Amino acid sequence: MIEICLPVIIVNFKTYLESTGKNAVELAKKAEKVNRETGFYVGVAPQLADLKAVAEAVEIPVFAQHVDAIKPGGHTGHVLAEAVQEAGAAGTLINHSERQLKLSDIDEIVRITRQKGLMSIVCANNPTISAAVASLKPDMVAIEPPELIGTGIPVSKAQPQVVSGTVQLVREVNEKVILLCGAGISRGEDVSAALKLGTQGVLVASGIVKAKDPYAIMREFAEAMKM
Amino acid sequence: MIEICLPVIIVNFKTYLESTGKNAVELAKKAEKVNRETGFYVGVAPQLADLKAVAEAVEIPVFAQHVDAIKPGGHTGHVLAEAVQEAGAAGTLINHSERQLKLSDIDEIVRITRQKGLMSIVCANNPTISAAVASLKPDMVAIEPPELIGTGIPVSKAQPQVVSGTVQLVREVNEKVILLCGAGISRGEDVSAALKLGTQGVLVASGIVKAKDPYAIMREFAEAMKM
Amino acid sequence: MIEICLPVIIVNFKTYLESTGKNAVELAKKAEKVNRETGFYVGVAPQLADLKAVAEAVEIPVFAQHVDAIKPGGHTGHVLAEAVQEAGAAGTLINHSERQLKLSDIDEIVRITRQKGLMSIVCANNPTISAAVASLKPDMVAIEPPELIGTGIPVSKAQPQVVSGTVQLVREVNEKVILLCGAGISRGEDVSAALKLGTQGVLVASGIVKAKDPYAIMREFAEAMKM
Amino acid sequence: MIEICLPVIIVNFKTYLESTGKNAVELAKKAEKVNRETGFYVGVAPQLADLKAVAEAVEIPVFAQHVDAIKPGGHTGHVLAEAVQEAGAAGTLINHSERQLKLSDIDEIVRITRQKGLMSIVCANNPTISAAVASLKPDMVAIEPPELIGTGIPVSKAQPQVVSGTVQLVREVNEKVILLCGAGISRGEDVSAALKLGTQGVLVASGIVKAKDPYAIMREFAEAMKM
């Protein structure tokens, strides 16, 4: 079983050029440095084409951004859990608002990751969807209102009721799942606000990837978690 | 510009375990060996998670199985042309029958690959669809009747009129595009039948990947091309 | 508010010719006859093109087979809740296994139907998915293992643990939702088995639509419900 | 065979409330009035739920906004060509930019409509896509740059080279297909500009549906066609 130290920071590299190829490896090393210096759990989710190189370069957990609800076979152009695992992934994002899935596929992918010992982080747009996916028993649920993604307006401060409402609804159906807060998180105070509202970490993308000094921001996030 | 020696063999690794991870690298090396021994163009299309490792291990052309119609940005879980290119891809399959796309996305992906100097191999189910995609001016069009894929029943022998009909319709709209024949190709005679019908190569998957001796079959394919 | 007498029979007309156009109206009239004779709630779900004609011909509840997660506007080729309601629909199926949806769309469609006073029947493939959709608070959840749909092998008899497991998981998150049982239901005893397992009705398609005497089967279903 | 008098006006009702339910019937009657007064071909494409009522109310051609690539059977929530035909449709839009399809489905739907004697109007985003769909031999191709849809900026005046480029590319592969021009058409002069560029008609939506006086605008369109 995978052991996770709470709270956690997961950095989604998306498909930004700043986090593609060599840049992906460099950014992952900065994340690893923050992990070494602060002890906080920092994971990274690079693109598939970069996954193996990143996983070989760092010792922090590396996540795929997506896997498909398939078994080995004839599925050209799809993402096989076995392939990302052999490439070094510790888990995967599922149903990110930029890669939304049919409900039956989310269910199937959570099952596949559980069987393989991969961590599952299911993304959800709002409190009711968060509760729905929590009942599928993934390892983590990340609440990310899509209208705030990439805006720099942190959900934890702009819509605290969305986060607290999610915590409440999710806890009614699942006491164990780790709850992450995403969308618009770009400063340490956004992170501490998220934790105070009852989440156990953050899922962040442009706030780190597009920052002038991603290391400094990750460090700021980690410092905010100490408090 | 990419120069291609005709005829060509492209091996689609799909998501078979026999062509995942370390197996992908080994299979690619066998393809490279056939290329070195026979001089024929042999390309391989591994999964994305294996693409970089395969591209670093061999000197033959490596293709992605899919890229998305996106530009760098916030597209979690999608496949960026820039990322597969930096990982070492020479091109990509597009619209495989197991990963079919909206027409406007096929058009956009062909444009993106052209801009980046990546080779585009667009797959098509039947003669009219082949002609439709040929008018988008990709580098190659692969005709693969989906009902024959993975059957071992070669389209070039079971449905020669599909192949010759494709050649005719495609040539009316595009004289230059390289035409590949796929679906059910598993023996040398299937390959020579395909070439006699007017195609310039084959796109093959299980016939190689699931063969007891993939090297022997690829070698047989190359010998068949000499005639 | 819509009042529903339990237990219920909902007949999904799918896209069978036997339930298209004039045939749709005739079949709906047979359903209405069973309702009049037995007092049991019998609803029908014809195709969209037939919805208005069916709704004008009978006084039993008529359902759409699908609506989209859209508001009025520029959405060519999509299904607007307002349009099906004005055409006479009392509600709609959502996420049938033949028309599966992204989770966020299911959530949005349930919200839209609630706002409009339309009944929502969300279909689910298995117990965990049933619980997930139950937490979105639709009016009904229909459990239909896709591998049994259209087989004549009744889920209520072949896989009673799927039905009872669904009842249990769903009741943990939602005490009120009406639970239907679908897939393979074709005889009265399948219906009584479904009710004994804790469901409040059945969602049935080919078992009625393709029957030699649909009226007789619906009558048999209703008789089975009396016991 | 269907006979079509050129040039043509096709009004896409989309899912606007102004063209839903009773409003759909009223708007169709205005279109019929313009047809009677001017002799020009005016077709309407209402939502599916309104299709039968509209087809019964007017004698001008009525189109579906979409049909699916299916045959009669178990396809809950999909649109069967036989059903729209029995409801009175003369044809259907296919691949509107708001309802884009996989290429193989476009091909299949064009075949189905041809078999059934339904008219096919395939929409395309740009000149190359227009040529690609023209090679599938539908009855009509409508070029609509999506970025201009609903803007009131007419493609025929803002991007005349898009329209003339489409005419040129399409004619290389298909001499017979009727070419329509869409997106941003809202005045008579936009219509005449479209015809001068070599198209045989217009596909229009908000320019009519959201107009204060839809009858007056359709009349203006028809007058512009006389010149």
Give me the tens of pLDDT residue by residue for chain C, a chain 227 residues long.
Answer: 456 788 999 999 999 999 999 999 999 999 999 999 999 999 999 999 999 999 999 999 999 999 999 999 999 999 999 999 999 999 999 999 999 999 999 999 999 999 999 999 999 999 999 999 999 999 999 998 777 777 778 877 788 888 889 999 999 999 999 999 987 888 998 899 899 999 999 999 999 999 999 999 999 999 999 87
Arithmetic mean of pLDDT, A133-158? 86
Q: What is the pLDDT of residue B3?
A: 65
Look over chain D and give the mean of its residue pLDDT values, rounded to a whole number: 93
The torsion angles phi and psi of A2, rounded to 5 degrees, stand at: -85, 135
**Chain C environment of A131 (Cβ under 8 Å):** 135, 173
CB pairs below 8 Å between C and D: how many? 147
d(CA A208, CA A221): 10
- Alpha helices by DSSP H, listed for chain A, are 22-38, 48-57, 81-86, 103-116, 127-134, 155-158, 160-173, 188-196, 206-209, 214-226
- What is the rounded distance in angstroms from the CA atom of residue A91 to the CA atom of residue A178? 14
Residue C203: its H or E element? strand C201-204
Residue B142 to residues A111, B125, B132, D173, Cα–Cα distance (Å): 35, 9, 12, 20
Q: Please tell me if residue B117 touches chain A, with a CB cutoff of 8 Å.
A: no
Greatest Cα pair distance in chain D? 50
Least confident range from B118-122, B204-208, C179-183: namely: C179-183
Report yes or no: D65 and D96 within 8 Å, Cβ to Cβ.
Answer: yes
* Contact criterion met (CB < 8 Å) for C99 and D78: yes
* Lowest pLDDT segment from B91-100, B114-123, C146-155, D87-96: C146-155
DSSP designation for B99: S
3-class DSSP assignment, residue C38: helix
Mean of pLDDT values over B151-163: 82
Give me the pLDDT at residue C106, please. Answer: 98
User: Both tokens of residue D192?
Assistant: 């005449």
pLDDT at position C3, please? 65
Q: Do D75 and C96 touch (CB under 8 A)?
A: no
Contact of D184 with D151, CB cutoff 8 Å: yes
Residue found by looking up tokens 């596949």 in the block = A112
Q: Helix (H, G, I), strand (E, B), or coil: what is residue A180?
A: strand
A101: chain C residues, CB-CB within 8 Å = 102-103
Share the mean pLDDT of chain B: 93
Report the pLDDT value the prediction gives residue D3, as an integer from 0 to 100.
Answer: 65
Residues 6+ apart with CB under 8 A from D207: D152, D184, D185, D186, D187, D190, D217
**Whole-model pTM?**
0.95
- Residue B122 or C2, more confident: B122
- The Cα of D145 is separated from the nearest Cα of chain C by a number of Å equal to 14
Residue A148 binned pLDDT confidence (cut-offs 50, 70, 90): confident
* C72: preceding bond cis by omega (within 30 degrees): no
Closest listed residue to residue D206, CA positions, set D69, D12, D56: D12
DSSP state of B151: S
More confident residue, D158 or A78: A78
User: Could you give the CA distance from residue B110 to residue B133 in angstroms, rounded to a whole number?
Assistant: 10
- Cβ-count burial of A19 within 10 angstroms (0-12 exposed, 13-18 middle, 19+ buried)? buried
The nearest CA of chain C is from the CA of D214 a distance in Å of 17
In sequence order, which residues have a C-beta less than 8 Å from that of residue A213 and are 6 or more positions away? none
The pLDDT assigned to A3 comes to 65
Separation of alpha carbons D72 and D81, rounded Å: 9
Integer Cα distance of D214 and D28 in angstroms: 10
Taking phi first (over 0 means left), then psi (-120 to 50 degrees means alpha), and beta for anything else, what does residue A221 get?
alpha
Asked if B144 is an active-site residue, the reply is: yes
Whether D99 and chain C come into contact, CB under 8 Å, resolves to yes
Half-sphere exposure of D87 (CA within 13 A, CB side): 35
pLDDT for position A106? 98
Structure-derived torsion over alpha carbons of residues C91, D105, C183, C131, reported in degrees to the nearest 10: -60
D109 touches chain B (CB under 8 A): no
| pLDDT at residue B1, as a whole number | 41
The yes-or-no verdict on residue D68 having pLDDT over 70 is yes
Give the distance from residue B227's alpha carbon to the nearest chain A alpha carbon, in angstroms: 31
CA torsion angle D78 D83 D85 D87 (round to 10): -120
How many Cβ atoms sit within 10 Å of the Cβ of residue B50? 31
- Using a CB-CB cut-off of 8 Å, the residues of chain D touching C57 are none
Contacts of C103 in chain A (CB under 8 A): 95, 100-103, 106, 124, 129, 132-133
Q: Could you say which of D59, D96, D172, D175 is catalytic?
A: D96
- HSE, side-chain direction, 13 A CA sphere, residue A143: 34
What is the spatial distance between Cα D120 and Cα D140, in angstroms, rounded to a whole number? 6
Please compute the mean of the pLDDT values over residues B60-76 and round it to a whole number: 97
Return the pLDDT at C90.
97
Cβ distance D136 to B132 less than 8 Å, yes or no, reads yes
Strand-strand pairing, C8-12 and C41-45: parallel
Strand partners, A63: A91
Q: Has C37 been annotated as catalytic? A: no
ipTM of the complex in this document: 0.94
Task: Give the dihedral of Cα atoms A82, A203, C112, C198; nearest 10 deg.
Answer: 50
- Provide the H-helix boundaries in D124-200: 127-134, 155-158, 160-173, 188-196
Using one digit for the tens of pLDDT, what is the confidence trace for D164-174?
899 999 999 99
Q: Return phi, psi of residue D212, to 5°.
A: -60, -40
Q: Which chains pack against A, by 3+ Cβ pairs within 8 A?
A: B, C
Tokens 């069967």 -> residue: D80
Cis peptide leading into C154, omega within 30 of 0?
no
- How far apart are alpha carbons D50 and D62 in whole angstroms? 10
Amino acid, single-letter form, for residue B110: V
Which residue of A107, A135, A166, A177 to mutate against C (max C Cβ within 10 Å)?
A135
